[in-house]
Structure 1
Amino acid sequence: MAVVLPIPEYAENGPKELDAGSLFVLKSRGSWLHCGYHLTTAIVAPALLSLPFAFTLLGWIGGMICLSMAALVTFYSYNLLSLVLEHHAMLGKRQLRFRDMARDILGPGWGRYFVGPLQLGLCYGAVVASTLLGGQSLKFIYLLSRPNGSMQLYQFIIICGGLTLVMAQLPSFHSLRHINLVSLILCLIYCACTTAGSIHIGHSNKAPERDYSITGVGINRIFGIFNAISIIATTYGNGIIPEIQATIAPPTTGKMLKGLLLCYSVVISTFFSVAISGYWAFGNQAQPSVLQNFMLDRMPLLPKWFLLITCIFTFVQVSAVSLTYLQPTNVVLEKRFSDPKKGEFSIRNVVPRLISRSLSVIIATTLAAMLPFFGDIMALFGAFGCIPLDFILPMVFYNVTFKPSRKSIIFWGNTIIALVSTVLSLIGAVASVRQMVLDAKTYRLFANM
């Protein structure tokens, strides 16, 4: 049996040993297929069910333009990150984390005080949001079976958190490869179900009267447009490209591009089908999750078994999303509490891993139960986190690393994308805060939403 040795990290004066987080969590053993599974789970999540709602704020033309441009820019951006990572690996300094890239390219302060905390906050926020979404899916399933049931949302969130608590003990990112393959299959299925359900309702006599006019007037419409852009950017967001590429066995050249092509074949087929069918069927009455439109006055507009299948697959897939976005937190915890000189499954390392990861999931579950309006907060995270990590920094990293001519198209293309994204990030943050203020009257801890 072949023995896979850890990839050394290189300092200026030669190689240095990996810390426990990189050594145990970011094992470099995967293929490009495994990379594609991880990428798909990180991007194609149940958050895409909010795309018809984004269209209500943009209309047909604006929605299609934003959805298409976000697909092109993120694919381009993630490929740029991959090229930068491959370049440094060929120089003998393989970077395994986003903060490593920022440290080596922009300086140690950028990695420690900006990119590292930003990525960690965004990914942990995604874990909280996924736990909340999983609880909502379970509650939806429960109400289908017992419309007058008395169980509260926080109880379903705790159940979802309990599942994540058990699965979070899988030791490495590479350990999730089979789970994320199942996740890829499930997202195709529930998106196909959602699309078919929207089309069926749209053609039935239960279809709402469709109005495709953009919601809001005056300043509300303007802020709505930027909110919709933040929603779409967050839906395409990833934030863990370096960590995913770190799971690939060397040599890495060209493997990430294959994984991206696999991922975006799923992205295009799911994002566009759900967005177009949902907005076509429900117009500007599309809800923040299009599945909410499948119920009218607590009565299902589709057969119960169909809705149950859709929601069960959504729930299972969102659990895989939670595990994927938990990995940067696991890296930090392993680095802090584990000993790289001891065995991965030694008592010295297993006990701290069990305790620290369990506490991490318990805190995320508690936050999800306390803050069921977390969607508004995630819009703010998207503006402050997804856009910088996925639309701005990749362009900066590429230009600083490869130093393309200032007269070249690629230099100015990257610069324009970074500048426009910066403006959108700032305006999107203001729009998100404004929406939180408007919704403040509905905020209540442990609300049964």
Structure 2
Amino acid sequence: MGTVLHNHSSVTVEMPASASDKENGYVSNTTSNTQELDAGALFVLKSRGSWLHSGYHLTTSIVGPALLTLPFSFRLLGWVGGVVCLTLSGLVTFYSYNLLSAVLDHHAQMGRRQVRFRDMARDILGPNWAKYFVGPLQFALCFGAVIGGPLVGGQSLKFIYILYHPTGTMKLYQFIIICGVVTLGLAQLPSFHSLRHFNLVSLILCLAYSVCAAAGSIYIGHSKDAPIRSYSINGNHVDQMFGVFNGISIIATTYACGIIPEIQATIAAPVKGKMFKGLCVCYAVIATSYFIVAISGYWAFGNITNATIMANLMGEALLPTWFLVMTNMFILVQVLAVTVIYLQPTNELFETWFADPTKGEFSARNVIPRLISRSLSVVVATLLGAMLPFFSDIMALFGAFGCIPLDFILPMVFFNLTFKPPKHSLIFWGNTLIALASSVLVGIGAIASVRQIVLDAKTYSLFADH
């Protein structure tokens, strides 16, 4: 074991230059390396997981109830546009996440292990980029997911409530608050690694409700009382044009992660090659769930598809009550896991600010500020979710402003700046073109998303019940 030296700001660990250390990137060209860990890295990003655990974390961070909005994105894009965009987004994100992993491995081998997205930005782009762009962008994306968690869970709870009490008086914001209270307890789980079994359950549940949603759509589509379907795109030319970019933003959001470095940081040494295996697990789930939900949902309802396919399944009243309750329970539990995993990067930031790495993780000095900061963040997120239940619109906005830069642009920039491929090479121009095309989508998608929020805001009110 190494020697631990205490100071006022960090824990410094001197480790011997073992072979596994070298492969994990703790060791530079000297015989030993000094690895400084702040409280966030020390307590939240513990490097104890296997490649299979990383697969669970990746799946939960990417595959969530947002996939139930995919039929709606097809409504905006049409059959061809929907399938092409869904496929391309999957290929590009799988590629970009592997680029991020390769950059992390490279810097680790050079003796500079990066455990956070803002660490990568600081080392590759400079400290100002980390402080004023990447750090705030990632925080906004993660906190946005935390806002969406109680909102989606509240919608599922309300669906269940309506099934048994069609004339009930409880409002959506009350169910959102209930989910927020449950999230408040789960938020106290100390680290990424402590979520590994919960995230395995999450992986199973996302497959379960995807199959249920697809089966329900197919059943309704073949029913004698099936709705009249049309696959034409609604609206005038302006509405259709903005709808295309809104649909692209929604799809980009369903593939979004934004926490790849943090997940890779949880893998125990040796790290090399493990992230690729975890991504393969994740994308096997994606290939299964995304396409069956998107295609079956759009096939069954066409251009009357709602913002989430569950609204269509509930609205037709053709499925048995037990089936709808079961599906919504799957969604409810899984969205709690999604919410908690996106709490971890914000928790890590709070730990860095308020915790003392020279004290024990569960000492009173660290437990009290941890309890206060995590609880306040969940309370604020729940309040915002209850006040502004524009889920599909918010998803599109997050996709444009947050997900596309973090998942489609920065990985390409980081790779080109780190490895400096020849400017005449295919990989250089491929990465550059992806980054440029994605940058255009950020601007147009953001405008389309804000426009849709402005339009829908006319029909919404604070603490709306729909």
TM-score normalized by the length of structure 2: 0.93
Matched with 1:62 is 81
| CA-to-aligned-CA distance 1:3-32 (integer Å, 9 cap, x gap) | xx9977899996352110111000000000
Q: What one-letter code is carried by the residue in structure 2 that aligns with 1:34? A: H
Query: Is 1:228 the equivalent of 2:244?
Result: no
**What is the alpha-carbon distance in structure 1 between the residues aligned to residue 112 and residue 428 of structure 2?**
24
Conservation of the 8 A alpha-carbon contact between 1:52 and 1:286 = yes
Change in Cα spacing, 1:6 to 1:259, as seen in structure 2 (3 Å) is farther
Conservation of the 8 A alpha-carbon contact between 2:12 and 2:34 = no
Query: Is 1:437 the equivalent of 2:433?
Result: no
Equivalent of 1:120, from 135, 139, 155? 139
Residue 440 (structure 1) shift: 2.2
Query: Is 1:159 the equivalent of 2:159?
Result: no
How many equivalent pairs are there? 445
Matched with 2:398 is 381
Map 1:48-447 → 2, pairs under 5 A: 48-296=67-315, 300-447=317-464
**What is the alpha-carbon distance in structure 1 between the residues aligned to residue 153 and residue 350 of structure 2?**
24
Q: Cα RMSD (Å) of the superposition?
A: 1.9
Conservation of the 8 A alpha-carbon contact between 1:105 and 1:401 = yes
Residue 300 (structure 1) shift: 2.1
**What is the alpha-carbon distance in structure 1 between the residues aligned to residue 408 and residue 106 of structure 2?**
20
Question: What is the DSSP-based 3-state SS (H/G/I as helix, E as strand, rest coil) of the residue aligned with 2:458?
Answer: helix
Question: What is the DSSP-based 3-state SS (H/G/I as helix, E as strand, rest coil) of the residue aligned with 1:109?
Answer: helix
Most deviating of 8-17 and 101-110: 8-17
Change in Cα spacing, 1:448 to 1:6, as seen in structure 2 (3 Å) is farther
| CA-to-aligned-CA distance 1:123-171 (integer Å, 9 cap, x gap) | 1001101110111110001001111111111110111011110011111
**What is the alpha-carbon distance in structure 1 between the residues aligned to residue 398 and residue 201 of structure 2?**
28
**What is the alpha-carbon distance in structure 2 between the residues aligned to residue 90 and residue 245 of structure 1?**
14
| CA-to-aligned-CA distance 1:328-352 (integer Å, 9 cap, x gap) | 1101111111100000011111111
Most deviating of 59-68 and 12-21: 12-21
Q: What one-letter code is carried by the residue in structure 1 that aligns with 2:48? A: R
Question: What is the DSSP-based 3-state SS (H/G/I as helix, E as strand, rest coil) of the residue aligned with 2:34?
Answer: strand
Change in Cα spacing, 1:92 to 1:197, as seen in structure 2 (3 Å) is same
Q: % of aligned pairs identical? A: 68
Q: What one-letter code is carried by the residue in structure 2 that aligns with 1:179? A: F
Conservation of the 8 A alpha-carbon contact between 1:6 and 1:28 = no
**What is the alpha-carbon distance in structure 1 between the residues aligned to residue 404 and residue 442 of structure 2?**
6
Residue 439 (structure 1) shift: 1.4
Conservation of the 8 A alpha-carbon contact between 2:116 and 2:261 = yes
Q: What one-letter code is carried by the residue in structure 2 that aligns with 1:389? A: L
Residue 354 (structure 1) shift: 1.0
Q: What one-letter code is carried by the residue in structure 1 that aligns with 2:246? A: N
Question: Structure 2 unaligned runs (5+)?
Answer: 1-10, 15-25
Question: What is the DSSP-based 3-state SS (H/G/I as helix, E as strand, rest coil) of the residue aligned with 1:216?
Answer: coil
**What is the alpha-carbon distance in structure 2 between the residues aligned to residue 374 and residue 42 of structure 1?**
18
Structure 1: which 4+ aligned runs deviate by more than 6 Å? Answer: 5-14
Conservation of the 8 A alpha-carbon contact between 2:29 and 2:110 = no
Residue 437 (structure 1) shift: 1.6
Conservation of the 8 A alpha-carbon contact between 2:69 and 2:392 = no
Residue 356 (structure 1) shift: 1.1
TM-score normalized by the length of structure 1: 0.96
Query: Is 1:24 the equivalent of 2:49?
Result: no
**What is the alpha-carbon distance in structure 2 between the residues aligned to residue 105 and residue 338 of structure 1?**
27
Question: What is the DSSP-based 3-state SS (H/G/I as helix, E as strand, rest coil) of the residue aligned with 1:193?
Answer: helix
Q: What one-letter code is carried by the residue in structure 1 that aligns with 2:196? A: R
Q: What one-letter code is carried by the residue in structure 2 that aligns with 1:46? A: P
